[in-house]
Every structure is written in C-alpha cells, then in structure tokens.
Structure 1
Amino acid sequence: QVVVADAGYGQSAAFRHALRSRHLDYIVAVRGDETAHPFDAEPVAPAYSGAGRRTLPRYRTGTLALHELATEEGRQAFRQVTWRQGSRGAMRSRFRVLQVRPAGKTPRTLAAADAGGGAAWDGVPPAETLLVEWPPGENAPTDYWLTGLPPDTPIRKLVRLAKIRWRIEHDYREMKHGLGLDHFEGRTWRGWHHHVTLVTAAHAFLTLRRLDPKAQAPT
C-alpha cells in the first residue's frame, strides 16, 4: 500500500519522516519552490586547527528550488509516459525522475535524531525521489511529487500512483452526491459518525460490485 497526499501534507518534512519511520511507502505532492540539495551533495567540515571546538559538518553549496533542479538539463531530460486510458483516450504527459536531498532545518534535525545525534548536530537527510511533470505546450514544469519508493521504481508506476488522486476525488464526489454524505442534518457527533459509517459501507459495497467480474448471462 502507498500513501498518497496533496501538497498540504507533502510539504511537511515531519509528515514524510513519520511515514518513513513507520515503513510506509508514499508519494506526495510538493510545491516547486521547495528547496533541496542535489543527491551527490555532501556536508563537509574544515580541517581542525587544534584550537577551540571542532566545526560541525555543513553543506558548503547553496540550496536550489525543486523547479531549478528539475530543469537543469532542459526539456530533453523529460520523457513521455502514458499512465492510463481516460474517457478521451490515453492520458499522457512528460516526466522526469531524479534523486534529491530535502533542505532545511527540519529534515536535518530529523536525520540527526535518527542517527542518535542531538538537535545541534546536522544530519544528512535521506534522499528522496523527485517526480516532475512538464506537459507539452507548457513553458515550465507544472507538478512535483516526492516519494520514498525505491529509486529504481519504474517511472510509469510512479506516475500512475501520483495521478491516482483523480480516483480519490471521484470517490468523494460519488459519496457526496450519490450516497448522501452531505445530507446529514443531525446535531450530535454520534449521529454524524453513524451517518459517515453507513455511507462508507455503501461505497465499499458498490466498489466491490464494480470490481467483481460480471456474472455470466444465463443460457
């Protein structure tokens, strides 16, 4: 199972760290202005002079926004991917996958805690896979996702998972308009939970019916 979330959750390094610590795979949307280091960036410390406290390792290069990292090699680094068949034909666009190390105090502090260090020590954040979409006809990439899935995960699988939010929105619309999720007019939490439970059970039943192979017609 893979956790999918929009940028409201994906922007939180603590949220992604919590998923990793629970060994949960994820692919979450982020903004293009989120900063990161290239995958091969390494923190270094100056040689110790023998006087005073040792200087802790630090990144000696500046951070870059994800949209800068994604476009360093231009549009030619993006490849066309088809992830599903829609009502109007094949759904396809151009994507790129690369490894980055998220920047900022929170990723460093969490990495330090994982390594057994204190908050004053800068850890090396684990690499995350960045998926970027640059649709044909657009002047710049439009969408970004970070994922904890292995870096050798096929790009088509990454795109399919990133784009699966359309299914979530479809299900929510079906529950709201078709099954009456927004029809509750009670005044108690207990009544609300009963209502949501019944709607959820109805939606689960309809989903199972939709996924089951159709019964053979009688002969």
Structure 2
Amino acid sequence: MAGVREDLEAFAAELFDGFFRADQRRWGQVYVRGLLLDGRRKSVEPMAAKLGEDGNRQALAHFVTTSPWNPAHVRARLAWKMQEAVQPAALVVDDTGFLKDGDASACVSRQYTGTAGKVTNCQVGVSLHLADDHASAAVNWRLFLPTSWDAASPDADPVKVARRKRCGIPADAGHVEKWQLALDMIDETRSWGIDVPLVVADAGYGDATAFRLGLEERKLAYNVGISSRLTAHPAHARPVTPTYRGIGRRPVATYPDKPMTVKELVIQAGRQAARPVSWREGSRPGKGRSGYKRMHSRFVALRIRPAGREIRQATEGAELPERWLLAEWPSTESEPVQFWLSSLPSGMPLATLVRLAKIRWRIEHDYREMKQALGLAHFEGRTWNGWHHHVTLVSVAHAFCTLQRLARAPKDAAQG
C-alpha cells in the first residue's frame, strides 16, 4: 500500500503542478486519494471520515466546490499523460446521466438518459475519452444545459433561470446541443496537442448530420452509430442533371431514385452478405485460448452515399460522398440489429471496421468503474464549477487505476 500511495502522490503532483497554491496541490491529491478508498459513498463527508489526519471536511468541500482552479488545465495534463499510456486508436464521445432527487443542482431537468433508460430527473454530462482495446481514459467533460435553464430559450423555466446565479452557471453558458458540445471538446483537446484522427460515437451523435459534417470539416475520420432510418443511395448511384432550356435557374443534379433507409439497403444485400467477425476477448469465462469468451457476430459492410438535405446542401449538388455502412446481423436474427456509418478508407478490412465500431465498450467500462468504485455520481454540491471539478478529479482517479493495471498486467487491464 505504501508503494501505491507514493505512486499516487507522484501522479497527482504531476497533474496538479499547474496549481498556483500549495494548498490546492495538497487537497487535490487528498481528494483523489479519498475517491480511491474503499467505501460505498464518495461524497466529501464520508471521504473525510476515512482520510485520517487529512480528513478535513471543510477544506475538501472548499477545494472541490469553490476553489478557483481551472479544470481544463488538469484535463490537459491528464490527456498528455494518458495519450502516452493508452496510445489511443480513437477519440470516443459519449454521455452519462447523474440521477438527482431534487432540482437545486446546476442543469438538473427531466430529460432522457441512457443511464436510466428513460426520461427522469438528472444532469447529463458529455465526455470525451482516449480509447484503445486495452485501456481508455476520460479526458474532457461538458455539463449539458437544457433549454429550461437558458433564459434565451422559448422553453426557459423562470424558476430554473433564477437559480442560475446560485448555481454559479456562467452568464454566457446557454443551451448547446450535445453533438456541438462534443465538437467543442474535440477542438479543445486537439488544441492541447492531442492528435487522434478517428472519432467514435453512438447513434445519439452519429444521427446528427451536422456532427458528421463538423468532423469532416476538421478532417477527422469517424466510425459512428446510426439509427436504421437514416437514408442513403447505393454507392453505384449517380446524379443526373436535367437539360437546361435557357430559362430560369440552371437545374441541379439529382439522384433519379429515392434514397432507401440503411436497414433496407442491408436487407436488400441479403443475409448471405454477412460475414463472421470476432473482435475481442470478453470479460466472462469461456472456452477461448486465454480462458475468456471471444466476442463475435456476423456483419455486412456496404459502400453507400448518405442522403439528406444537409448533405446535399454541403455538396452543392455534386456527387454525394461514399461512406461505409456497417451492420451487425447475428445468425439468430431475422434482420440486422445495429448500424454504423464510417468515413474510413474504402479498402478498410471488415475486421478493422468492426473492432473500431465496437471500441465503445471501453467507455461503458469507464462509466461503470467511475460510478461504482470512484464516486462519479456522488457529488452533493450544486454548483457548475463544483460539478466540473468533481468529474475531473474522478477522471484523475480513474486514470491512476488504469496506469496501475497497465503496470501490473496489460492483458488484465484490457479485460477490465
């Protein structure tokens, strides 16, 4: 245990070196140590009770809630450290819910969260992770501000708007769609010198054409989930320009056939187009060589041209760009069950497309560990800054655990 504490002190000293004051550096390390202690609750009071001579509840509460330190500085140092350790194949965007009983905390509203699988009273945090199959790390966060908290929105709730000052929400913080928060985080993370040329996300982001176009503008490849109703043309489809008769505006090239949904395109290709792929070892015992069950299924990969008004406007009537459509079609199912859209090169092997699409399992693992073991959802403060401080410190604690696992046994770390 003494060696682990020394490792933690060195790790925290590196990440908190940018703090101007020595007491901030001290309480940052103590707070992270508290998050790593055994215990079901990781809010300030129970942590203070377990920290012995460092268990100053008031100092810990002040550090996480009101101390004027910028979490972006810590996140940048964390990203530099974890980029070297993880060697990420992708930047992964995701979001998670923070369930709340009351409505006094910043940005709490009745909204959908996958954490509960329904609309409920919660905060929603959008996160950005460096990920590869063997490890991952959350390096950036945004707190989603619903329209009910935005005074400029027609859906503003006067009670919640009045609560903004008490919660310390910056005056210029308004409602921003989650996909735009994701692009903002990507921009910030790249400004730190983190260069990962692939972005992975679920259909909550992949269905947003503006998100995909934003990645293309940034010259970033993507492999994102999409819903079955997204429309596209087959790759062989070509636009036709009607003859110009010299009157009015010149006609724009259009595709003669209506686009189909991606589900229809895959079904048209047929079950025979599905190929078996295994992409990683799971965490449950099985009959594999290592003793762990291999994750496997059947997949169809097609070249398509995504359709839609926003894409047509972006291409200005030119030929729609080709993309990969990847669909999972298990042998036990009568139709495909999951879909992804990718801008990776046309020669990409099917196994690589599948592995990168499935890399999001690492982020589900991150959330589970941060919530169950490190107190991600246990913050009891109500302020905007307090939330951002807490999730940053939990990310530091999680990164420390990841580094410890990698140092012990890289394969164990991959299996989580």
Across the aligned residues of Structure 1 and Structure 2, the Cα RMSD in angstroms comes to 1.7
User: Separation in 2 of the partners of 1:208 and 1:154?
Assistant: 31
Whole-Å separation in 2 of the counterparts to 1:93 and 1:81: 6
Matched, 1:66 2:270: no
Name the structure 2 match of 1:116: none
Instruction: Identify which range, 63-72 or 186-195, moves more after superposition.
Output: 186-195
Query: Quick one: which amino acid aligns to residue 200 of structure 2?
Result: V
Give the match for residue 117 of structure 1: none
Judged with a 3 Å threshold, the aligned counterparts in structure 2 of structure 1 residues 193 and 140 are, in CA distance, closer, same or farther, namely same
Residue 302 of structure 2 corresponds to residue 107 of structure 1: no
Secondary structure class of the residue paired with 1:186? coil
Distance 1:25 1:56, change over 3 A: closer
Distance 1:71 1:27 in 2: 21
User: Shift in Å at residue 153 of structure 1?
Assistant: 1.2
C-alpha change, 1:200 and 1:98, in structure 2 (3 Å) is same
Is 2:218 the partner of 1:22? yes
Secondary structure class of the residue paired with 1:97: strand
Partners in 1 of 2:249 and 2:212 — Cα distance?
A: 34
Q: Does 1:174 align with 2:369?
A: yes
Choose from 332, 338, 344 the match for 1:137. Answer: 332
Paired position in structure 2 for 1:48: 244
Instruction: Indicate the SS of the match to 2:236.
Output: coil
Shift in Å, 1:50? 4.2
Q: Which whole-Å deviations, capped at 9, do the CAs of 1:150-201 have from their partners, x for residues lacking one?
A: 1211111111111112111111010011001111111222222221121111
The residue type equivalent to 1:14 in the other structure is A
1:95 correspondence with 2:290: no
Cα displacement (A) at 1:70? 1.1
Shift of 1:124: 2.6
Q: Does 1:199 align with 2:397?
A: no
Unmatched tracts of structure 2, length 5 or more: 1-195, 287-292, 411-416
Distance 1:56 1:109 in 2: 11
Note the C-alpha offset of 1:48.
3.0
Counterpart Cα distance in 2 of 1:124 and 1:40: 11
TM-score normalised according to structure 2 size: 0.48
Flag the 1:178–1:49 CA change in 2: closer, same or farther, 3 A. Answer: same
CA offset digits 1:70-128 (Å, max 9, x no partner):
1223111110001011124111111111111111111111122xxxxxxxxx2333111
Find the counterpart in structure 2 of residue 37 from structure 1.
Answer: 233
List runs of 5+ in structure 1 lacking aligned partners.
113-121
Higher CA-based Rg: 2
Residue 207 of structure 1: how far off its partner (Å): 1.1
Amino acid at match of 1:130: L
For residues 391 and 245 of structure 2, what CA distance do their matches in structure 1 show?
Answer: 66
Of 298, 320, 328, the match for 1:125: 320
Q: Would the alpha carbon gap of residues 91 and 50 (structure 1) be closer, same or farther in structure 2, given more than 3 Å must change? A: same
Identity of aligned residues (%): 53
Residues 182-197 of structure 1 correspond to what in structure 2 (within 5 A)? 182-197=377-392
**Segment drifting more, 124-133 vs 46-55:** 46-55
Give 3-state SS (helix, strand or coil) of 2:301's partner. strand
Post-superposition shift, 1:46?
A: 2.3
Match of 1:77 among 273, 278, 285: 273
Check whether the contact 1:109–1:123 (CA below 8 A) recurs between aligned residues: no
Q: How many residues align?
A: 206
**Cα shift at 1:38:** 0.9
343, 350, 363: which is aligned to 1:155? Answer: 350
Secondary structure of 1:182's partner? Answer: coil
Distance in 1 separating the partners of 2:269 and 2:255 = 23
AA aligned to 1:174 is E
Provide the rounded CA distance (Å) in 2 between the counterparts of 1:124 and 1:136. 35
Give the Å deviation of 1:47: 2.5
